């Protein structure tokens, strides 16, 4: 697969309980085809985090890659916004 054709998604980390795995929730705004009302859709993706850098509530970018396991088909590309600890 060509790198330019891989999906890039931005979402919020909702779980870091597994080793080298994060769960990222991606939010999309969709317009209803008939009534025109906008609403939000959420989808969760498991992503590979080799160095366990991402923390809970961080905003991250994930990239589509080869399957690491049955459910992991994305990997952590970069952390866009780190959440401050201590709150």
Give domain status of residue 86, yes or no: no
Give domain status of residue 39, yes or no: yes
Give domain status of residue 87, yes or no: no
Give domain status of residue 64, yes or no: yes
Asked if 29 and 39 count as a contact pair (C-beta separation under 8 A), the reply is yes
Note the pLDDT tens digit of each residue in 1-42: 676 789 999 999 999 999 999 999 999 999 999 999 999 999
Strand ranges (DSSP E) for 1-85?
8-15, 21-31, 38-48, 59-64, 72-81
Give domain status of residue 46, yes or no: yes
Note the pLDDT tens digit of each residue in 33-81: 999 999 999 999 999 999 999 999 999 999 999 999 999 999 999 999 9
Give domain status of residue 54, yes or no: yes
Dig out the tokens for 35 from the structure.
């009534």
In 3D space, the residue among 49, 59, 54 whose CA is nearest the CA of residue 81 turns out to be 59
Give domain status of residue 36, yes or no: yes
Give domain status of residue 37, yes or no: yes
User: Is the model's pLDDT at 87 over the cut of 80?
Assistant: no
The domain that contains 73 carries what CATH number? Answer: 2.40.50.140
Q: Which domain holds residue 44?
A: 3-81
The number of domains in the chain is: 1
How many other C-beta atoms are found inside a 10 Å radius of the C-beta of residue 38?
8
């Amino acid at each position: 697969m060509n790198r330019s054709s891989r999906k890039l998604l931005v979402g919020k980390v909702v779980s870091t309980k597994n080793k080298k795995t994060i769960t990222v929730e991606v939010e999309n705004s969709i317009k209803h085809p008939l009534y025109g009302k906008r609403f939000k859709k959420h989808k969760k993706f498991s992503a590979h985090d080799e160095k366990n850098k991402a923390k809970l509530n961080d905003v991250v970018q994930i990239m589509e890659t080869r399957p690491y396991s049955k459910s992991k088909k994305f990997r952590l590309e970069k952390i866009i916004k780190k959440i401050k600890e201590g709150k």
